[in-house]
Structure 1
């Protein structure tokens, strides 16, 4: 049986006493990191060059910092304290990395970063490891770690522990270590009572670990991702995507506003189909007769339901399960799945599937406090229907029971987001053209490749057509870009707010025309000229007249009635912000976009000086601690805030 301690510092001492010299440690991504243990270990090693430390991990989550007195900081401070908790144990090494302040004898290698948070960190950029998620376990094994540390859940009355939020690569890593003939690392668990218990393949005997740490209370909140508002463009993308999902199929989604919009659209399709079709017709009258919708998707409610199979379980899956969209169960009995597929299943097979089958598989989970609360309070039959699996089982069909997984993952749709796409079908998702990493490849390439390996699957990359740069919009469809995540030979489906581009098996000329057809109207001409110069398009080609409808105002006008009546709410999956904060966030977003250039800033300041006080301004100014401005800077901030509130007010 494992040793037990209650003091994180004692656990750090236990580890250091068993490993001499340099220390190499593996830790899961996101929630699975044992914060208290890692902080205790870092505190001992930080000033001791005789104990070099290498940490192999990913996604070291850190709540936003709210220093200063600008409008963003004033908004964030109360929210961060309420949402994350004043006692949230920030990871000391992560804060050091962000400041480029890691000591020379400490190195942190990550294969995925908190999006955009470490673009300015030389230490993070130099120590980044570019990997597909399915390669991460062997990459850690290659480093021959001395220990793997992980947060786990305990269940009263059970002798087992649950890997809960991170069943992703721990066991795959141990297998890879054994395959290399390396010694088994020490395994240390930190029990967190806040972590939801998930059973089945997510559980291990307590003896799986060499040391179990049970820190004393009070226990801080789990890291909760604040749910973001969904824009008109996001909704347009989600609605287009929802029409490509086939009833009885398989669903994988990423995270963020685009995934939230897609989840809401699928729920609407199932629970209010009349309204769903009204919205689609307003958005795009041709969508109901689109060849792809007829061939691979559908608009009807889900009679059979979907099977969810995604590396990350998140807020969208909660909503999809609760609404009955995700309910198609699969089983790990190959014979049973074969009989179901060929129509020869027995009555007993259907009974076993109903009792033992699962409708949702994931490798890790991450979401809001409401999402964690849902997992904690699931009825037992629903809890059994969720299977936390290894990443090698989720992100690929090779290396395990390929025949079984092909039967389970029929009509799979893999929806992921990218930052930019090229006219020839490459995708930019993880880094900038100068090589700096925004986030990481994660599982995106895994799912794109799997979509080509499964006979009836499709990969769908979603992105917004425009981005703001120094106050000026720029197209996210480029002729070329200095870095790509998904190569053009794996091109499949792309969706932005202007429509769907089907590139699978297409010629370069057809790809250019399809991508130009979903490019914002202001950027179509230069894109077409570049294609002609590169001999990919005939000189005489001209853009069809209907492409001129690719303008933000057209989409906003089409969706406006449904935004007003609540069919397309700002926060379709719920909000972590108060109603006052939601209004403030909308106003601050407008203000940031309006002051992105020198000219825009001057125009906005001038308009703010003329802005009259609104009837409800006082409660917003009070929330921002600007009700009694001290000095000219605060006075101007108050005026700017009033203007932004007036410009973004909802009827």
Structure 2
């Protein structure tokens, strides 16, 4: 059983916080005063809005225990960004007690959203921390996973000043623990202790449980990048100057871009998601941060998704600064980086430059995330490069991703006014400052040759050419 803690102070130079295995079921306590060291709190019965840590910081033992209290917590809403691992609250029979709202739809929740068992809340990632803390839609329970200075199965120790670290996931978890009236944490020795705005005082946490399992990994795509991705990577890299600051996401195309940037010099990093591909550039000496105009020599991120090697590189690394997404994704903050290159993927683009990134075949697929945040930030940056990158075709070459018009049910993630560059394996099209006629011609020029004539016919019928 997990021991409910009595936290008597902030400084713990030699004190160990007693921990245990997962409580089953989760302890039920009426919530006392916030931050009361003499009376720690857990989750009281009744409906709540419960935030889970993102990515590798999802607390699996607390989620498991949460499922055991379904009847007591009936009507509760479980909210989170992309998480790694199961999402039992979105499945039968747990969804009879819990309703999941996805801030970003991942593979583990996509079937539930499609079936109507769960909801999607579209919002820019820069604004999500404010939502999490708002009086109207804020969270009152936060379940997080943290890293301590030292941890074993009997005890966990915060640092000398009484803090634990949010580690690999600061994004919305930072706002969550500050807003919630009940904060429960899994302490995991595998969670990296990261620098930046990541630290949580132990007296803000009402209950600790111990987890000694490895963090879940998001493995990079198997094998070398395919030829289409490599070609896209080369075209993107040709746009990026030495000394630029990068933002990239996850997947084949960002990995191919990272591969194509290996000969660049003194790149910087200010991104939403930290991945293995970008860290490889750091280790190769390509990303140094030496030319950054903001937070020089610091790699800045909100969330890490990758391998055990990535998490090990992050641990106590003073060159890495992790922050909530209200900071990393704020367009005004992003714009403080000169030569900001924001490289984002898309599912389709129409001939006027509208971008669909969160819907596929008329169904909700992912989320807005930070795409618009970073494209707008890069647009304001001196010498900035807002880039949308995608293969020219889908379904094994059967359909074009450059479309006459977005299909029925497709959502516009990025409006045409925010799109500057679009890159496929056939080249790069600059849309900024271009008329619809010029845009259509440029986008047809980077479409797959098999679809160009059909696109021209549509453009002529609309009198765009």
How does the TM-score come out when normalised to structure 2? 0.84
- Cα offset for 1:433? 5.0
- Cα offset for 1:208? 2.9
- Cα offset for 1:173? 4.6
- Cα offset for 1:306? 1.5
Partner of 1:366: 305
RMSD over aligned Cα atoms: 2.6
SS in 2 for 1:513: helix
Partner of 2:374: 447
- Contact between 2:388 and 2:419, CA under 8 Å: does it hold in 1? no
* Alignment counterpart, residue 107 of structure 1, candidates 80, 99, 104: 99
Distance in structure 1 (CA, Å) of the matches to 2:167 and 2:219: 21
TM alignment of 1:317-332, pairs within 5 A: 317-329=278-290
Query: Are 2:153 and 1:152 equivalent residues in the alignment?
Result: no
Distance in structure 2 (CA, Å) of the matches to 1:139 and 1:5: 32
- Contact between 2:87 and 2:108, CA under 8 Å: does it hold in 1? no
- Cα offset for 1:453? 2.5
- Cα offset for 1:507? 0.5
Distance in structure 2 (CA, Å) of the matches to 1:22 and 1:116: 23
SS in 1 for 2:78: strand
TM alignment of 1:407-418, pairs within 5 A: 407=336, 409-418=337-346
- Cα offset for 1:211? 2.3
Partner of 2:418: 490
Please list the CA deviations of residues 323-347 of structure 1 after superposition, one character each: whole Å capped at 9, or x if unmatched: 111112489xxxxx79xxxxxxxxx
* Alignment counterpart, residue 428 of structure 1, candidates 345, 356, 380: 356
Partner of 1:473: 398
Shift in CA distance, 487/397, structure 1 to aligned 2, threshold 3 Å: closer
- Cα offset for 1:50? 6.4
How many residues matched? Answer: 424
Please list the CA deviations of residues 90-110 of structure 1 after superposition, one character each: whole Å capped at 9, or x if unmatched: 44325x2xxx54433310111
Distance in structure 1 (CA, Å) of the matches to 2:73 and 2:274: 41
Partner of 1:163: 166
- Contact between 2:229 and 2:256, CA under 8 Å: does it hold in 1? yes
* Alignment counterpart, residue 92 of structure 1, candidates 88, 91, 96: 88
Query: Are 2:49 and 1:24 equivalent residues in the alignment?
Result: yes
Query: Are 2:445 and 1:521 equivalent residues in the alignment?
Result: no
- Contact between 1:172 and 1:392, CA under 8 Å: does it hold in 2? no
Partner of 2:79: 56
Please list the CA deviations of residues 114-150 of structure 1 after superposition, one character each: whole Å capped at 9, or x if unmatched: 2596257545575111111122223333324221111
* Alignment counterpart, residue 9 of structure 1, candidates 20, 23, 36: 23
Partner of 2:250: 255
Any stretches of 5+ residues in structure 2 without a counterpart?
A: 1-6, 9-16, 31-41, 151-156
SS in 2 for 1:459: strand
Please list the CA deviations of residues 253-299 of structure 1 after superposition, one character each: whole Å capped at 9, or x if unmatched: 111111111111111x24xxxxxxxxxxxxxxxxxxxxxxxxxxxxx
* Alignment counterpart, residue 220 of structure 1, candidates 213, 218, 231: 213
Partner of 2:125: 133
- Cα offset for 1:489? 1.6
Query: Are 2:254 and 1:231 equivalent residues in the alignment?
Result: no
- Contact between 2:331 and 2:374, CA under 8 Å: does it hold in 1? no
Distance in structure 1 (CA, Å) of the matches to 2:114 and 2:417: 32
Distance in structure 1 (CA, Å) of the matches to 2:28 and 2:129: 25
- Contact between 1:31 and 1:165, CA under 8 Å: does it hold in 2? yes
Residue range with higher mean Cα deviation, 165-174 or 252-261? 165-174
- Cα offset for 1:227? 1.9
Distance in structure 1 (CA, Å) of the matches to 2:255 and 2:433: 30
Shift in CA distance, 397/58, structure 1 to aligned 2, threshold 3 Å: closer
Shift in CA distance, 162/116, structure 1 to aligned 2, threshold 3 Å: closer
Partner of 2:269: 308
- Cα offset for 1:247? 1.6
Shift in CA distance, 475/397, structure 1 to aligned 2, threshold 3 Å: closer
Please list the CA deviations of residues 484-533 of structure 1 after superposition, one character each: whole Å capped at 9, or x if unmatched: 21111212101110000100110001100100000111100110111111
- Contact between 1:119 and 1:437, CA under 8 Å: does it hold in 2? no
Partner of 2:388: 461
SS in 2 for 1:54: strand
Partner of 1:375: 314
- Cα offset for 1:358? 3.6
Larger Rg: 1
Distance in structure 1 (CA, Å) of the matches to 2:361 and 2:385: 27
Partner of 2:184: 188
Distance in structure 2 (CA, Å) of the matches to 1:457 and 1:450: 8
Higher helix share: 1
Shift in CA distance, 233/50, structure 1 to aligned 2, threshold 3 Å: closer
- Cα offset for 1:49? 6.4
Distance in structure 2 (CA, Å) of the matches to 1:234 and 1:244: 16
Shift in CA distance, 91/50, structure 1 to aligned 2, threshold 3 Å: closer
Query: Are 2:233 and 1:242 equivalent residues in the alignment?
Result: no
- Cα offset for 1:14? 4.2
- Contact between 1:39 and 1:93, CA under 8 Å: does it hold in 2? no
